[in-house]
Amino acid sequence: MKALITGGAGFIGSNLARGLIERGDDVRILDNLVTGSLANLHDIERAIDQRIGDVRDPNSARGAVRGVDVVFHLAALPSVARSVRDPASSHEVNAGGTLTMLEAARAEGCRRFVYASSSSVYGDTPILPKHEEMPVSPRSPYAASKLAGEAYCRAYARSYDLETVSLRFFNVFGPRQDPASEYAAVIPRFTTRMLAGERPVVFGDGSQSRDFTHVANAVSACLLAASAPSDASGEAFNVGCGSRTSLLELVELLATILGRATGVDFAEPRPGDVAHSEAAVDRARAFLGYLPVIGVRDGLTDVAEWFARTGAVTV
């Protein structure tokens, strides 16, 4: 299979690139390096076709998809908090960039378009677990932009000869996730602070919970979505573990794994955050054959070992 990964120098994209290469696929990436880094690809750079470009640019998009069978569209401007401060940029990259890539894929005759959506499209509805038949209710510009991308994917599947599959990722974590970013996800930030002997910062009271999903599960879902039967086209599927962990429970798990007792510093809740999130994965199992391959505790152990091995601290 010839595959393009937009955002291929990013966290999920670089892990997906390794998964594809291990299978013997031809891999091309497109990344503008705003949030991604070529350092994430240093050990596989000779095995991939690297293109520096922006998904909003039609010429970059057309050139990147030419000759490709499957597009994995992971490029996005992440962070709920960032989108609250700058909604226009989130829309331009996440919704506009998705439309540009879809049009390029259609024009170049790609077979399938796999889109990285987000659990944030569900909003803060009290129903748990979140399932694909429930109404969506985005409460941040980021969530709205990801939902707009889903809608474009569905429209292209219905209007053109392009199969699309949207994957609603639930709080993906794992190796190569940047802990230094202002918008870093909670697990790399907690892990690196605790490894450095510092207290993790919890926004809110710590009771909020998430379906933390190791990146190996996201990679598995992407590969399954690329080859799923045609009845998956135009549909959206949850990708998670089907369980949830509160932030305070997360601190306790990491403290046990790292062998380090720690306190917690609390800060004001962040705008746009939801209280609880948990994925129902029955539909992904039925259509894609998806099942989580790594649970939360094993995933946290993997992350702790990776940050300890690659950073200036030891477990």
Distances (CA, A) of 183 to 79, 100, 165, 179, 268: 6, 25, 27, 8, 15
Please report, for residues 20, 177, 221, 241, the alpha-carbon distance to residue 36 in angstroms, rounded to integers and kept in the order given: 18, 10, 21, 26
Residue 138 burial class via C-beta count within 10 angstroms: exposed 0-12, middle 13-18, buried 19 and up: buried
Say which of 142, 152, 156, 290 is annotated catalytic: 142
| Cis status, amide bond into 129, omega within 30 of 0 | yes
Taking a C-beta distance cutoff of 8 angstroms, is the pair 135, 125 a contact?
yes
Structure-token pair, residue 42: 């240093």
Helix (H, G, I), strand (E, B) or coil at 51: strand
| Residue 277 to residues 84, 169, 171, 241, 267, Cα–Cα distance (Å) | 20, 11, 9, 11, 20
Tokens of 141: 């510009």
Q: Are 169 and 220 a contacting pair, CB within 8 Å?
A: no
User: Does the annotation mark 142 as catalytic?
Assistant: yes
Distance CA 66, CA 59 (A): 11
Residues forming the active site:
142
